[in-house]
Amino acid sequence: MPTFSSSRYSNLQLNTVKSPQPFMHTMEKVAILFILIIPSLLFSAFAQSSTQIMAKTDKSTYQPGDKVTINGTVENTVNENPVTIIVRNPIGNVYVVGQEKLFNNAFIHDFVLNDNSQDGTYTIDIKQGVKEVELHFVVNTGQVLTIQVLDSVIKVRSNGTNPIKYGEASVSMKDFTIKIPMDTSSVSGNSVDQQYQIPKRIVDSLGNQVIVKTDNIPIECTQSETSTTRILDCHVPSNSKELELIGTVVIPEFGILSIMVISISTLMIIIISRRSRFTNL
């Protein structure tokens, strides 16, 4: 029978105990990494989905006098906090501040750009609790012309120097139209962009859109409105001779001041006639 010395047995036992250690050490590292990485990935995915605000403006570029409309949704809301909206102008000053309640996780906010708004890029910060998103839009002031319509004016904006010259407006109460002569001889290309900002007291189309024609041919215009103004963004064809605005309501032909004068005059005639009757009696 073979015999083993105590030292050889001792070495064999030692080797038998130590051999699994490198494998166990590696498994411990893997387990620790798994414990550390997986929760962080899960948290990251949850944070991303729980803090998301989706929002956009109706246009990317505006002109002074335009209405800016912001539509958005807030996902995974856990409270009823309103959405806070802060608009900053190109130099970083606060331009507009507003709050909107959520309805079915959705919100809408609009505001009108002042006539003296600066050129450049504006920033919109939208927040709801810890959720937030940033949007941008551009204001292009361009050139402003005015068309006198009785005692009011239509503002005309263009991106640069306006090549169209406008004549004197005529108003028709019968057809609910305003016709304006145009000189487009300086227009290069097939058309030129024009924005018409029309006070509703001049011409309006209740529950519908104002019809725009050039030389009696309808043209397509993007239309929006504020409480007091219709805003029409139109591509005016070159060689056009006349602009026509058709609504369902048009400013009275005599104007407000003339109507007041006529009303007062009529009232005075009635009073004088009654006094004459009493004097004769």
- How do residues 209-268 score in pLDDT, each as one tens digit? 999 999 999 998 999 999 999 999 999 999 999 999 999 999 874 444 444 544 565 666
Q: How far apart are CA 95 and CA 196, in angstroms?
A: 24
| Residue 32 reports pLDDT greater than 80 | no
Q: H-type helices in the chain, by residue range?
A: 6-18, 21-50, 255-280
Residues 6+ apart with CB under 8 A from 4: 12
Task: Give the pLDDT score at 27.
Answer: 62
Instruction: Tell me the backbone φ, ψ of residue 208, rounded to 5 degrees.
Output: -150, -165
pLDDT band at residue 17 using 50, 70 and 90 as cut-offs: very low
Q: Give percent of the chain with pLDDT exceeding 70.
A: 72
For residues 198 and 245, is the Cβ–Cβ distance under 8 A? Answer: yes
pTM: 0.65
Closest CA to 107 of 132, 83, 127: 83
